[in-house]
Amino acid sequence: MKNSLIVQKYGGSSVANIDRIKNVARRIARYRNKGYRLVVVLSALGDTTDELLKLARRITSAPSEREIDMLISTGEQVSVSLLAMTLQRMAIGAISFTGGQVGIITDYSHTKARIIDVSADRIKKELRKDRVVVVAGFQGINPDHEITTLGRGGSDITAVALAKTLGAGICEIYTDVEGVYTADPRVVTDARKLSYVSYEEMLELASLGAQVMQARSIEIAKKFSIPLHIRSSFNNKTGTIISKEVKAMEEALISGVTVNKKEAKVTICDAPDKPGIAAVIFKEIAAKDINVDMIIQNVSRTGYTDLSFTVSVRELNRARQVMSDIVGKIGAKGVTYNRDIAKVSIVGVGMKTHSGVAAKVFETLASKGINIDMISTSEIKISCVINKKHADHAVRAIHRAFGLDRVRRA
Amino acid sequence: MKNSLIVQKYGGSSVANIDRIKNVARRIARYRNKGYRLVVVLSALGDTTDELLKLARRITSAPSEREIDMLISTGEQVSVSLLAMTLQRMAIGAISFTGGQVGIITDYSHTKARIIDVSADRIKKELRKDRVVVVAGFQGINPDHEITTLGRGGSDITAVALAKTLGAGICEIYTDVEGVYTADPRVVTDARKLSYVSYEEMLELASLGAQVMQARSIEIAKKFSIPLHIRSSFNNKTGTIISKEVKAMEEALISGVTVNKKEAKVTICDAPDKPGIAAVIFKEIAAKDINVDMIIQNVSRTGYTDLSFTVSVRELNRARQVMSDIVGKIGAKGVTYNRDIAKVSIVGVGMKTHSGVAAKVFETLASKGINIDMISTSEIKISCVINKKHADHAVRAIHRAFGLDRVRRA
């Protein structure tokens, strides 16, 4: 379905300085010449947000989140006004807005607010005047008119929410990479850019450590079936389209291989194997707001069991504190910690209809003499925890085993 | 009349960095300990506004004023959030607001908007919670929710307008000088700080080049009889109180001597001395938006007259363009320009009731061999245009002649 309205979002690296802003303006000019109406969402210039947070940290290690939002929301306001001026200089009608001005209404949280409503009447009015509407990403206001921000990946969320409200044909996400790859090109030299990937696969890839987009914005796009196009702002190449699963996609078994080296494994040794033990453990962990990724309980021997789980390395110290209490409470023998792990995962909607994918992964690792420590699967994902020193080798082997270096995905 | 609410305004140099913001927070803490309720208005950190304008000028020499306001209003938003965090860190309840959030409503102009309404309900609500309310100066929103700024001295205007709306007992203006002086201390070493000065005198001093405050904020304070206290944020000395003319003030003839070296004189030579000539000239000048300061028409000789006026040096080139047209149109002989002038002025409400002030000024200049080129007077001011090279000498002589180095003004 042809729709002449496009929402474009440019990340911080794409608007890091005046020259790059001019570059963005030239791209917008080309779209305008082709007859498209445009709503453009911007992040703050380069590292502005981090610089502002540094200022705040010079005052206090625990600034109020409400004041943090007042502070960091200025970053996007600067970028949108500068882009609007640049477009006007090129004789393109343009107007900039804060999130609040275009009616992006959030809940009452600060620094990670959720959008509850987007009115966008103001945007529609300006589009009717044939203007490019430039909107500050990452921010909104709550019903009390307090400024809020949406957290990591917030500008993507703004873009997707506006695309939904305005009925845009596509939401383009401009960044400093050319799209979504079958593996990290720094690890796998023959990694290929995917032409298409489904929302579900992209969600798995995002949660497995592919840093292109945060899961929240992909979830919104999926919910409202808004096609996303992830592409580079530094060239005109087509990037990766993220959309609903289509027939052509199913022909390719696997869309990508990822690796996450930022998890640690916690193992509780010889815990009594009786009902409710896991509940006790993970209730206490959750109470400390620690996110657990994989959980594996080994087979019971003689009434005792080993139970392992992984947490982010960042949260390991907090997990340690909880664990020492729990071990005594449940009568386990002890607890061990391992930071030398890596989680290698493959993602692909093709798995749903093709058997043997897991077996092929295990065989591939075995053929390279790599031991598998933990395994976890979902409908479209298989993850294996292995020794960190084998991680890159494992990714390359799996990537080749599934022919990701060869198959051109439709 | 005792009133426990004080509005304080801190200029850019008073909040130029985190250390100075902490310094401001400590002063606020002392006022809180004395039981005052406080509304604090801030400018942007140091040179932030100029830095943002530089960014804009890298894009275009004529940016849209609406987008300029979007851009530069971020400066104050940064300062207020940082001060609120600092106060909170000291366990002082505080909350920051943009101009729009506290209901500072302006007209539709940009970069020099005028306040048309201040609701301040939000401020009152926070004051009832015993919080220090920190408000971004220099900015408001127009009835369409567009961000506007108030122009030079805008933060002072915000402070005075809030003092009026909230019924504050006094409005303190913190800056990098200790108050209003009888003359520029860089020129006149024995210049004294005035303890009191009337609104009328301060208006004359401001328009004559004393850079402490802009005329607009003084006018608002005068209209609503809000006492202003101009003082330094770097020490605890009492500064200068600006208030209604009181009896004690009248005893001092003169409050200050100023000099303005940034004007140029334009003389139209041998214009026909007939009705309507001046009207033609100044209508054309006004049409080009050039501000004329003094106008002197010399006595007519033989049906022809010389007419001189002064304009800001910045506007001299534009004035030249207009003048060349006009000279031909009115049949004058020619036009001359002189940049080597200075305007020396004395200001004082005492002049109203004391005669001989003008004579004493002229005598003083004559005794130093300084020729007077143009003279202009108002009820409380006498200005003389002289050769620029004599300017500082003239200021010192007049300062001494009126005993400003000795008399302690009540």
The model's pLDDT over A131-158, given as tens digits with 9 standing for 90+, comes to 999 999 999 999 999 999 999 899 999 9
The minimal CB distance from B82 to the residues A55, A96, A145 is found for A55
Q: Which residue has the tokens 């009133």?
A: B3
Locate the chain A residue with the closest alpha carbon to B75: A74
Distance (Å) of CA B80 to CA A74, A138, A226, B18: 12, 20, 39, 12
Stretch A109-118: mean pLDDT: 94
Task: Tell me the pLDDT tens digit for each residue of B283-294.
Answer: 888 888 888 888
Residues of A in contact with B22 (CB under 8 A): 59
**Cβ-proximal residues to B137 (8 Å cutoff; 6+ apart), any chain:** B9, B41, B42, B43, B76, B99, B154, B155, B156, B158, B159
Exposed, middle or buried: residue A31 (CB in 10 Å: 0-12, 13-18, 19+)? middle
* pLDDT at residue A303 is higher than 80: no
- Tokens representing A47 are 């590292």
* pLDDT at residue B390 is higher than 70: yes
Stretch A29-39: mean pLDDT: 96
- Pairwise CA distance, residues A249 & B376, whole Å: 86
* pLDDT at residue A410 is higher than 70: no
**Cβ-proximal residues to B164 (8 Å cutoff; 6+ apart), any chain:** B118, B220, B224, B226
Q: Say yes or no for a CB contact (<8 Å) between A56 and B22.
A: no
Give the closest residue to A41 by CA, choosing from A135, A170, A139, A168: A135
Residues of B in contact with A96 (CB under 8 A): 67, 70
Q: Say yes or no for a CB contact (<8 Å) between A63 and B18.
A: no
Helices (H), A34-64: 48-59
Task: Tell me the pLDDT tens digit for each residue of B346-365.
Answer: 998 878 777 788 888 888 99
Give the closest residue to B134 by CA, choosing from B169, B94, B163: B94
Which residues in A119-220 belong to E strands, given as ranges? 132-136, 139-141, 147-149, 170-175, 196-198
- Pairwise CA distance, residues A260 & A211, whole Å: 11
Locate the chain B residue with the closest alpha carbon to A49: B78
- Pairwise CA distance, residues B267 & B273, whole Å: 14
Residues B130 and B177: beta-carbon distance below 8 Å: no
Give the count of alpha carbons within 13 A of B280, CB side only.
18
Stretch A40-48: mean pLDDT: 96
Give the closest residue to A21 by CA, choosing from A31, A10, A30: A10
**Secondary structure of residue B28 in the 3-state scheme:** helix
Q: Say yes or no for a CB contact (<8 Å) between A59 and B21.
A: yes
Locate the chain B residue with the closest alpha carbon to A141: B101
Give the closest residue to A350 by CA, choosing from A258, A245, A209, A259: A245
Q: Say yes or no for a CB contact (<8 Å) between A70 and B18.
A: no
User: What is the pLDDT confidence band of residue A1, given thresholds at 50, 70 and 90?
Assistant: very low
Task: Tell me the pLDDT tens digit for each residue of A352-385.
Answer: 777 788 888 888 998 999 988 888 888 888 899 9
Residues of B in contact with A74 (CB under 8 A): 74, 77-78
- Pairwise CA distance, residues A404 & B149, whole Å: 56
End-to-end CA distance of chain B: 20
Tell me what percent of the residues of chain B surpass a pLDDT of 90: 61
Q: How far is A73 from chain B (nearest CA, A)?
A: 9
Count how many pairs of residues, chain A against chain B, have C-beta atoms within 8 Å: 101
Task: Tell me the pLDDT tens digit for each residue of A235-283.
Answer: 999 999 999 976 555 456 788 899 999 999 999 888 887 777 778 888 8
Helix (H) or strand (E) holding B46: none
Q: Which of A40-44, A151-155, B261-265, B370-374 has the highest mean pLDDT?
A: A40-44
3-state DSSP helix/strand/coil % of chain A, to nearest 5: 40, 25, 35
- Pairwise CA distance, residues B217 & B196, whole Å: 17
Q: What's residue A271's pLDDT? A: 84
Task: Tell me the pLDDT tens digit for each residue of A314-332.
Answer: 889 889 988 888 888 888 8
Q: What's residue A2's pLDDT? A: 43
- Pairwise CA distance, residues A25 & A31, whole Å: 10
Q: How far is A214 from chain B (nearest CA, A)?
A: 27
User: What is the pLDDT confidence band of residue A41, given thresholds at 50, 70 and 90?
Assistant: very high
- Pairwise CA distance, residues A34 & A30, whole Å: 6
**Cβ-proximal residues to A240 (8 Å cutoff; 6+ apart), any chain:** A179, A180, A193, A194, A195, A196, A197, A229, A230, A231
3-state DSSP helix/strand/coil % of chain B, to nearest 5: 40, 25, 35
CATH T-level assignment (fold) for domain A246-410: VC0802-like (3.30.2130)
Q: Say yes or no for a CB contact (<8 Å) between A86 and B145.
A: no
Q: What's residue B373's pLDDT? A: 85
**Secondary structure of residue B308 in the 3-state scheme:** strand
Q: For chain A, where do the domains classified as CATH 3.30.2130.10 start and end?
A: 246-410
Query: What is the number of helices (H) and of strands (E) in chain A?
Result: 12, 20
Task: Tell me the pLDDT tens digit for each residue of B67-105.
Answer: 999 999 999 999 999 999 999 999 999 999 999 999 999
Q: What's residue B209's pLDDT? A: 62
- Tokens representing A141 are 């206001």
Average pLDDT for chain A:
90
Q: Which residues of chain A are at the B interface, by a Cβ-Cβ cutoff of 8 Å?
A: 18, 21-22, 52, 55-56, 58-60, 63-64, 66-68, 70-71, 73-74, 77-78, 80-82, 84-86, 88-89, 95-96, 98, 101, 145-147
Helices (H), B3-153: 18-33, 48-59, 65-89, 121-128
Q: What's residue B295's pLDDT? A: 84
Stretch B38-63: mean pLDDT: 96
Task: Tell me the pLDDT tens digit for each residue of A175-230.
Answer: 998 999 988 888 898 888 999 999 999 988 887 766 778 888 999 999 999 999 99
Residue type, B290: I
Q: Say yes or no for a CB contact (<8 Å) between A81 and B95.
A: no
Q: What's residue B299's pLDDT? A: 63
Task: Tell me the pLDDT tens digit for each residue of B129-177.
Answer: 999 999 999 999 999 999 999 998 999 999 999 999 999 999 999 999 8
User: What is the pLDDT confidence band of residue B246, given thresholds at 50, 70 and 90?
Assistant: low
Q: What's residue B410's pLDDT? A: 44
Distance (Å) of CA A187 to CA A76, A259, A387, A399, B52: 33, 9, 16, 11, 41
Looking at domain A5-176, its CATH superfamily turns out to be Acetylglutamate kinase-like (3.40.1160.10)
Backbone angles phi, psi at B315, to 5 degrees: -100, 5
- Pairwise CA distance, residues A88 & A132, whole Å: 10
Q: What's residue A393's pLDDT? A: 93
- Tokens representing A79 are 């970028």
Residues A135 and A162: beta-carbon distance below 8 Å: yes
Locate the chain A residue with the closest alpha carbon to B79: A71
Stretch A384-402: mean pLDDT: 93
Handedness of CA B218, B221, B227, B229 (dihedral sign): negative
- Pairwise CA distance, residues A158 & A120, whole Å: 12
- Pairwise CA distance, residues B114 & B102, whole Å: 16
Q: What's residue A408's pLDDT? A: 53
- Tokens representing B225 are 């009889």
Q: What's residue B248's pLDDT? A: 58
Exposed, middle or buried: residue B338 (CB in 10 Å: 0-12, 13-18, 19+)? middle
Stretch B227-231: mean pLDDT: 96
Stretch B329-356: mean pLDDT: 87
User: What is the pLDDT confidence band of residue A121, given thresholds at 50, 70 and 90?
Assistant: very high
Helix (H) or strand (E) holding A111: none
Which of residues B15 and A152 earns the better pLDDT score? B15
- Judging by DSSP bridges, how do beta strands B170-175 and B228-232 pair with one another? parallel
- Judging by DSSP bridges, how do beta strands B147-149 and B196-198 pair with one another? unpaired
Flag whether the pTM goes above 0.80: yes
Q: Say yes or no for a CB contact (<8 Å) between A81 and B70.
A: yes
Task: Tell me the pLDDT tens digit for each residue of B372-388.
Answer: 888 888 888 889 999 99
Q: For chain A, where do the domains classified as CATH 3.40.1160.10 start and end?
A: 5-176
Interface test with B, best of A57, A85, A88 (most B CBs within 10 A): A85
Which residues in B213-369 belong to E strands, given as ranges? 228-232, 240-243, 256-260, 263-272, 292-297, 304-312, 334-338, 341-347
User: What is the pLDDT confidence band of residue B2, given thresholds at 50, 70 and 90?
Assistant: very low
* Backbone angle region of A366, left / alpha / beta, with phi > 0 → left and psi within -120 to 50 → alpha: alpha
User: What is the pLDDT confidence band of residue B329, given thresholds at 50, 70 and 90?
Assistant: confident
Q: What's residue B1's pLDDT? A: 35
